[in-house]
Structure formats: structure tokens, C-alpha cells
A and B are shown apart, each in its own frame.
Chain A
């Protein structure tokens, strides 16, 4: 089934694409690969944080997963804005998740599943991607997550 159709069936609404600001580019294409800048989240349409805090202190792994899922929708909104049609995605290739967490928080994969599982829900088999997830000391504006992704696309 097509990704665009799955989005509709799941009742998912993508946010508007994030705009480039000055020299900060949200994504670019090189060959058949699309590289996305780190998308932090969860943010509202104006880029204000909807959730702040560290996993293992203010936030649970479950809340981290919700933040990661929100970030995935944001990422797809930006991608769709530039390539027009998510059915051009051949494969989600790579995901790198940075989580704002305490030095003792070890359950990063569970938080990352929020992003990973949404990609599979939308793209099916083509959404199954390699990934890494790490805990970092701090992120912009105190948000819990930032995720970088790479997609293979066709013309």
C-alpha cells in the first residue's frame, strides 16, 4: 500500500514543512539519498517546545517515545514539503536519535521506537531502517529528543 494512503488510513496529519532559516538547511538531496538535519522535538508550528526535560528525571521512556513519534511526523512533513509525494521514498535508510537524558538512563531503544515504529507504520517494509540512539548531555531549548534521518528516494 502507498505511504500516502497509509497516512490517510492511520488518520495522521503531517505538520507543515520546517523552513530553512538563514544558512540552516532542513534537508538536501545528494544522488538518490536525502539527508535530513536533526529535527528536535516535540515542537509546535512556531518551533516552540511542547515538552521539555530529561529522560530519567522529568520524563519517562514512554514520554520519550511520544516525543520521538512527534519528531517523526515533523520529519515527514518537511520531507513531503520538498519531494512532494512520500511514495517516492524507496527506503528509510538511517536514523540517529539523540536523547536528552540523565547519565543513568539506559532505555534509549524504547524511546527511539517512537520514531522507528512510525516509519514502519507509514512505509511498511520500506520503513524498516538502521538506527543508533544515544543519550546526550543537552539539546536545544531543553527538548527531550533530536533525530537525524536519511532516505533513499526515486525521481
Chain B
């Protein structure tokens, strides 16, 4: 089934693509690859939808939900950049930054929120990807998670 059809069937509403601001670019194509800047759970005005650190203000479930929101933001920008998500051949690489209080050591469980969304939308063959998840000290506006992703696309 196509990714666009799955999105409809799942009833997912993708947010509008993040707009470039000054020299801050959200997505670009190089060869067969689309590189995405780090995306997090922000509204179209760049206001955080969730704030706080894992292990302090937020639970793993809340972090997981925030990572899913980051995933929806990535897909919204990607669709705006390439026109249709059906052009995605493979989700190649994902790098997740999780805003953690010292001692919080399950950033992978947070990042499952992003990865599971990719598999729901693209199916396992296209959606399964390589990934690293790390706990870091701070993110823009104290959002809990930021995700960078790389997609392979067809012409």
C-alpha cells in the first residue's frame, strides 16, 4: 500500500512543512538522498508543543509521544519538499537527540515513537531504518526531542 494511502487510513494529519528562515534550511536533495534538518515537536510558529527533560518533567511515554510528533513534522516537511511521500524508497538513517536529565538512560524507548511512525506510514520494507539515539544536555526551547533523518527517494 502507498504511504499516502496509509496516512489517510490511519487518519494522520501531517503538519504544514516547516518553512526555511533566513539561512536555516529544512530539507535538501543531494543525488538520490533527501537530508532533513533536525525536527522536533514544534507548532508552525516554532513554539514547542511539549517542553521538558526526560527523567525530570517528562516520562518515557510522554517522550515517546513527542518523538512521534517530531516524526509527523519530518513527514510534513518532506512531503512539502518532494511532493508525495510515495517517492520514498527507503528511510535510511535516523539520529535522535533526547533532552535528558542526568541519569536518564533509555533514549531508545523515546525514539521508538519516531521509528514506529515511519514503519506505520511506509511499511516495514521501506520504513525500517538505521538509528542512533543519544541523551543530550539541551535542545532549542527546551523541547524534549529533536530528530535528524535521511531518506532515499526516486525521481
Contacts and interface: CB of A to CB of B under 8 A. Distances in A.
A93 B138 contact: no
Interface SS majority for chain B:
strand
A117 interface: yes
A102 B111 CA distance: 23
Contact of B140 (A96, A108, A113): A108
Contacts of B26: 130
B12 interface: no
Given A33-B30, A117-B23, A131-B24, A93 B35 contact: yes
Interface string B22-38: 11111110110001111
Interface residues of B, number: 27
A135 interface: yes
A106 B46 CA distance: 13
Contacts of A31: 31
A20 B14 CA distance: 45
Nearest to A121: B23
Given A32-B31, A130-B26, A130-B27, A101 B137 contact: yes
Contacts of B36: 130
Contact of A136 (B38, B136, B142, B148): B136
B31 A135 contact: no
Contacts of A152: 30-31
A130 B138 contact: no
B119 interface: no
Contact of A102 (B23, B53, B97, B138): B138
Interface in A75-129: 90-91, 93-94, 96, 99, 101-109, 113, 116-117, 119-120, 127-129
30 contacts: A31-B31, A33-B30, A91-B28, A91-B30, A99-B138, A101-B138, A103-B53, A103-B137, A104-B142, A106-B139, A108-B138, A108-B139, A108-B140, A109-B24, A117-B23, A119-B23, A127-B23, A128-B20, A128-B28, A129-B25, A129-B28, A130-B26, A130-B148, A131-B37, A131-B38, A134-B97, A134-B138, A136-B137, A137-B136, A150-B35
Given A103-B101, A130-B26, 9 more contacts: A93-B28, A93-B30, A96-B95, A96-B148, A106-B138, A116-B23, A130-B36, A135-B136, A152-B31
The 10 closest A-B pairs by CB, nearest first: A135-B138, A132-B38, A130-B37, A130-B35, A135-B137, A120-B23, A132-B148, A128-B25, A152-B30, A134-B97
